[in-house]
Structure 1
Amino acid sequence: MTSQDNMSEEHLPEAAGGHGTVAVHGGAFADPGLPPHEPRRTDIDERAAKRAERQVALWFVLSMLATVAFIACYVIFKPGPQSANTVYIWPIGDVSKLNFGLGISLGVSLFSIGAGAVHWARTLMSDEEHISERHPVEATPAVREQVFADFRQGAKESGFGRRKLIRNTMIGAMAVFPLSAVVLFRDLGPLPEKKLIHTAWVKGMRLKNMNTGEPIKASDIEVGSLTFAMPENLSEDDEDFQERIAKDAVMLVRLQPEDIKDKRSADWGYNGVLAFSKICTHVGCPISLYEQQTHHVLCPCHQSTFDLSDGARVIFGPAGHPLPQLAINVDGNGNLQALGDFSAPVGPGFWERSE
């Protein structure tokens, strides 16, 4: 006797709440159906329903007021780092009044809409349970055949396949139409042109200490030390300082000449002083951790590790390219100066990346 021989079915009367049969090994048990519906207080008490209605309306009114507050914050508060435009929020610290006001008001507006909708659904909308019996969703062969026949008939009547001029020009129009969006996107801002490839470093530009702002002499760099530098024409008071330092920042390291494994890297340095981009080639984080004995630098964001003694090649982590190197020598006063731009675009790779 098979297991199917031990299975039986019991048909339940509709009045008993049954919706089919349940077969189990060795017998059958009754489908319990749905439990008796229990009305909510708002279903039987009109005063409670009115109170719930007012509560839902209150949430929606709060959302409208928050939206008005959002617009008011946008008009009243001005962006900028000035102290007049910031507010102290514990434990965050100083926060822009504009950002704080926009964030709070928009959050309250969205939350109030959601809270009102949820309260409406739980207290006033119908909560009657209904069962929908499962049924096949696949169309019958006759319906599918009719759909295909109607499509073929419509294509024939339209002359789409026969009138090639109309067909080809229509396809051309649909292909060209998206170009209008390209024009709109172009108007969103200036093209980057060569800004993604080149930095401010040019031949003859001196390197200055990022902390002191003074020119850096080769004799100031000790073996095993790491020094951060930037172009001499860059100042923290410049309006575009953050934009420029994100590409122009340099780290200087001095190695014993015999420790430098890459010949080109040695040729681009000066008496063991090497200059590399400070910007990680993974996602653009500033590199700041240096292991003196191994000559490795570590990106604190995702632990990409570069060997400065071997052309700053990647030895660990998600970075895909070595750190670009800056060719340097000294001027008549012994100050370090660049011989041109970096050996490759700074920061994360983009598209096929020009070398």
Structure 2
Amino acid sequence: MTEKNNNTSGAGEDTPERVVGTPTAEQSVVTEAPAAQDDHGGPYKASETHVWPEEVQRRGEKVASLWFLLAFLGGIGFLVSYFVFPVDEIADPQIGQYSNMALGGSLTLAMFGIGAGMTVWARKVMPHYEVASPYDELPSSAEEKGSFSDFFMKGADESGFTKRPLMRRTLILAMVPLGLAPIVLLRDTGPLPGDKLKNTPWEDGMRMYVEGTHRAIRAEDLENDPYGMISALPAIDDENYPHGISLNDAAKSVILLIKVPEDDWKQGMEEEIEVDGESGQRLNWTHNGIVAYSKICTHVGCPAALYERTTHRILCPCHQSTFDASDAAKVVFGPAHRPLPQLPIGVDDEGYLVARGDFTAPPGPTFWDYAKD
């Protein structure tokens, strides 16, 4: 952003534009800058260095240091808020709201304070001059390499970092809590799930309900629609469903029931799999064209809840991983690396769809360290 220098002496048209926040001719002390070309479009001549008066620099140092102190308090507030609201209690809506406000507000203050302090530092303490140099060969000469240390220290001195201890110390102080925050947040990663995903609530003979309802699913519910799809959960507690199933159990056991016409099955459904000690083709663990797959995407765990009937493609909306329901839910597109696990199904004496065991593989993201047989 620039502003015109309105010179009423008649030379205004020849006066270059001045960058807002840089010293005017009356405010600055002009000294000789390192040799550089003068044919450039900057607000200053390349041979001039504009330096704020010492009084202005001191005032800028104090303002920048104040912002750094606020950033430090914000960083401390973030760490305190993290421990005041335990992770195992933020599921409560009220506690979670206060936790988000405290964490977000304190982190915002910390980041904004550092940014504002650095801006004041650059605008009111550092000198301003134009530097231009012609393009030359990229490799540096031995003399240039040897002078790097002197050049670096000169830049540090001009920036005020070495001779403005108040500003330097408060900046370092503000960065300490932010440096500790990532270490503290590692606590949220928790232990690896190990073999917790290997076993889900599904077991032989367990009925399935339409997700979010108390309606058990019959085979004809899907047979009446040759391209149907239903999202379902295990009937763990018939009396209290859907409240009888925990969020953890629901997250790893939710399934998609899909009706695929007999002629549309592909070669992948002829693969041999083993369920509770019994082996057979994948088609043996379907019922009249109805197949069940885990709804949890094997990429990062999003719900793969979109289904394209004409192509039998299951789509995860998060990162567009796509699976073929007619070909053992193999990946046909996207970042996922393994198929959706299949749930063996059948029907009971009353015609309700039931599980015939647990998933053929642990559901969930591939990067989890699930146990192997």
Q: Specify if TM > 0.5.
A: yes
What is the distance in 2 between the residues matched to 1:35 and 1:286?
63
What does residue 295 of structure 2 align with?
278
CA distance change for structure 1 residues 66 and 269 in 2, over 3 Å: closer, same or farther? same
CA distance change for structure 1 residues 344 and 55 in 2, over 3 Å: closer, same or farther? same
1:342 counterpart = 2:359: yes
What does residue 80 of structure 1 align with?
90
- Picking from 61, 65, 68, the partner of 1:60 is 68
What is the distance in 2 between the residues matched to 1:127 and 1:253?
68
Give 1:3-18 correspondences, 5 Å limit: none
What does residue 108 of structure 1 align with?
109
- Picking from 332, 341, 351, the partner of 1:315 is 332
What is the distance in 1 between the residues matched to 2:33 and 2:115?
35
1:227 counterpart = 2:227: no
1:259 counterpart = 2:267: no
String of CA shifts for 1:22-61, please: whole Å, max 9, x gaps: xxxxxxxxxxx96133332x33xx3x34533442343234
What does residue 206 of structure 1 align with?
207
Alignment coverage as a number of residue pairs = 267
Paired residue type of 1:51? R
Paired residue type of 1:282? H
Quote the offset at 1:326 in angstroms.
0.9
- Please give the secondary structure, in 2, of the residue aligned with 1:346: coil
Q: Is the 8 A contact 1:345 1:354 kept in 2?
A: no
Structure 1 gaps, min length 5: 1-15, 21-32, 87-95, 139-184
String of CA shifts for 1:232-259, please: whole Å, max 9, x gaps: 1175546841x32232111111233343
What is the distance in 1 between the residues matched to 2:85 and 2:35?
63
What is the distance in 2 between the residues matched to 1:191 and 1:283?
15
What does residue 37 of structure 1 align with?
49
Q: Is the 8 A contact 1:196 1:345 kept in 2?
A: yes
What is the distance in 2 between the residues matched to 1:54 and 1:239?
58
Quote the offset at 1:215 in angstroms.
1.8
Q: Output the aligned Cα RMSD.
A: 3.9
Structure 2 gaps, min length 5: 1-31, 37-44, 132-140, 147-185, 271-280
What is the distance in 2 between the residues matched to 1:274 and 1:217?
13
What does residue 247 of structure 1 align with?
252
CA distance change for structure 1 residues 85 and 310 in 2, over 3 Å: closer, same or farther? same
Give 1:110-189 correspondences, 5 Å limit: 110-124=111-125, 135=143
Paired residue type of 2:234? P
What is the distance in 2 between the residues matched to 1:103 and 1:120?
26
What is the distance in 1 between the residues matched to 2:320 and 2:78?
40
Q: Is the 8 A contact 1:265 1:310 kept in 2?
A: no
- Please give the secondary structure, in 1, of the residue aligned with 2:49: coil
RCO higher in 1 or 2 (8 Å CA, sep ≥ 6)?
2
What is the distance in 2 between the residues matched to 1:250 and 1:221?
14
- Picking from 286, 291, 305, the partner of 2:308 is 291
CA distance change for structure 1 residues 117 and 209 in 2, over 3 Å: closer, same or farther? same
Please report the TM-score for the alignment, with normalisation by the length of structure 2. 0.59
Q: Is the 8 A contact 2:204 2:355 kept in 1?
A: yes
What does residue 342 of structure 2 align with?
325
Please report the TM-score for the alignment, with normalisation by the length of structure 1. 0.62
CA distance change for structure 1 residues 334 and 84 in 2, over 3 Å: closer, same or farther? same
What is the distance in 1 between the residues matched to 2:196 and 2:370?
16
